[in-house]
Amino acid sequence: PRKFYSANHDEIMAGYTTDIYFVKTRDLLKENGSLDVPVVAEIFSKEAGVFAGLPEVLSLLKDKGVKVYALEEGMSFSPKEVVCRIHGPYGAFGMYETVILGFLASSSGWATAARECVKAANGKPVLCFGARHVHPAVAPVMERVALVAGGCTGASCILGAKLAGAEPQGTIPHAAVLIIGDTVKTAILYDSVLPEQESRIILVDTFKDEAEESLLVARALRKKLDGVRLDTPGERGGVSPSLVQEVRWRLDMEGFSHVRIVASGGLNPEKIRLLSQAGADIFGVGSYIAHATPRDMTMDLKVIDGTPIAKRGRLPGIEENPRLKRFL
């Protein structure tokens, strides 16, 4: 019996996740003798964004006998700009329209949101903590693309980070602190089991006020403490600029200037900007990236058997775009 409802790689490859009408189309065109007519298809989005998802499209189309031109992974695109063009017999790729657009829409949505956060942080590290917001089948897709195309510095999802060629990053969750029963005790234990080269960053909002707990932890680990993570829940006002400023001030006052402040919890580009000004050093972003609206992609046939054509509402024939590069 099937464990989960997500499609495995071989199911995607076999076309099981496409829309049924592309299968019907194949039958129809076969009957009509035009299944393998040479066509040119172009893909664009109505909104601007950051282009991503291409490697999966190329994996899908490799050895299908088509030529593929596209922007490079991570390039920005304008509204209605052609981001990908496919030349080949319709039968060779037409059935995958749904799949190709799905790869690009999802990944470009996440990459665009990640890029906005990275720009707001203006050089300070941004970590992607979005895995809990999406189905686990795509969590690694999202976290990988946030790093590779969006510019994030790290990701907490194990497989996502690995696919991006990085080590997964993170601290310890509230659960650990609650079970051990005391933040300082948890910090000391954490320090004792963690490999020496890894960062000691402690979550400080489980039991006590963040300013108090930051100092208690800093006094316990001293030079070995790399950072404290503020993740104040909405029920306590969230992480605010004045909280960051106060924690910074109190740490500095006791000589803990080396301790960095990691902020997380409902961050978005605007909050990142404000918290950065208030003194935060690292930003953990979840929902803003994970909830990104997909960048809807449209694929239009623009040339059929050498003739420029298009459905009503679109411009027939190829729309030149010198930024495209040949990949297949």
Given a contact cutoff of 8 angstroms between Cβ atoms, the answer to whether 288 and 48 are in contact is no
Number of amino acids touching a copy of itself (CB under 8 A): 129
Neighbours of 327 (CB within 10 A): 18
**Cβ distance to a copy of itself smaller for residue 75 or 180:** 180
Least Å distance between CB 186 and a copy of itself? Answer: 7
Does 184 participate in binding a copy of itself (rule CB under 8 A)? no
Sort strands 282-285 and 126-128 into parallel, antiparallel or unpaired.
parallel
Does 304 participate in binding a copy of itself (rule CB under 8 A)? yes
**Cβ distance to a copy of itself smaller for residue 176 or 328:** 176
Least Å distance between CB 176 and Zn ion? Answer: 12
User: Measured between alpha carbons, how far is 215 from 7 in angstroms, rounded to an integer?
Assistant: 48
Does 137 participate in binding a copy of itself (rule CB under 8 A)? yes
Least Å distance between CB 291 and Zn ion? Answer: 5
Give the interface segment with a copy of itself, choosing from 115-123, 217-225, 256-264, 290-298 (CB under 8 A): 290-298
Least Å distance between CB 245 and a copy of itself? Answer: 7
Shortest CA distance to 141 belongs to which of 100, 98, 111, 96?
A: 111
Shortest CA distance to 295 belongs to which of 29, 28, 116?
A: 116
Exposure on the CB side of residue 305, measured as CA atoms within 13 A: 4
Least Å distance between CB 221 and a copy of itself? Answer: 15
**Cβ distance to a copy of itself smaller for residue 159 or 328:** 159
Does 135 participate in binding a copy of itself (rule CB under 8 A)? yes
Residue 128 main-chain phi, psi, to 5 deg: -95, 115
Q: Residue for token digits 């993740």?
A: 231
Does 75 participate in binding a copy of itself (rule CB under 8 A)? no
User: Measured between alpha carbons, how far is 191 from 104 in angstroms, rounded to an integer?
Assistant: 42
66 burial class (0-12, 13-18, 19+ CB within 10 angstroms)? Answer: middle
Least Å distance between CB 57 and a copy of itself? Answer: 10
Work out which of 74, 125, 168, 269 binds a copy of itself, going by CB under 8 A. 168
Return the residues of window 141-160 that contact a copy of itself according to CB under 8 A. 141, 144-145, 156-160
Work out which of 47, 81, 226, 246 binds a copy of itself, going by CB under 8 A. 246
Residue 231 main-chain phi, psi, to 5 deg: -140, 35
Angle at 292 between CA 290 and CA 295, to 5 degrees: 135
Give residues with Cβ within 8 angstroms of 13, minimum separation 6. Answer: 60
Shortest CA distance to 205 belongs to which of 168, 245, 153, 247?
A: 247
Give the interface segment with a copy of itself, choosing from 53-61, 64-72, 219-227, 272-280 (CB under 8 A): 53-61
Work out which of 24, 222, 258, 325 binds a copy of itself, going by CB under 8 A. 24
Work out which of 97, 150, 217, 251 binds a copy of itself, going by CB under 8 A. 97
Residues near Zn ion (CB under 5 A): 133, 205, 231, 287, 294, 296
Work out which of 87, 208, 273, 323 binds a copy of itself, going by CB under 8 A. 208
Could you say which of a copy of itself, Zn ion, none residue 235 binds, taking C-beta under 5 to 8 angstroms by partner kind? a copy of itself
Work out which of 49, 88, 102, 227 binds a copy of itself, going by CB under 8 A. 102
- Rounded to the nearest 10°, the torsion over CA 10, 13, 19, 25 is -130
User: Measured between alpha carbons, how far is 200 from 225 in angstroms, rounded to an integer?
Assistant: 5
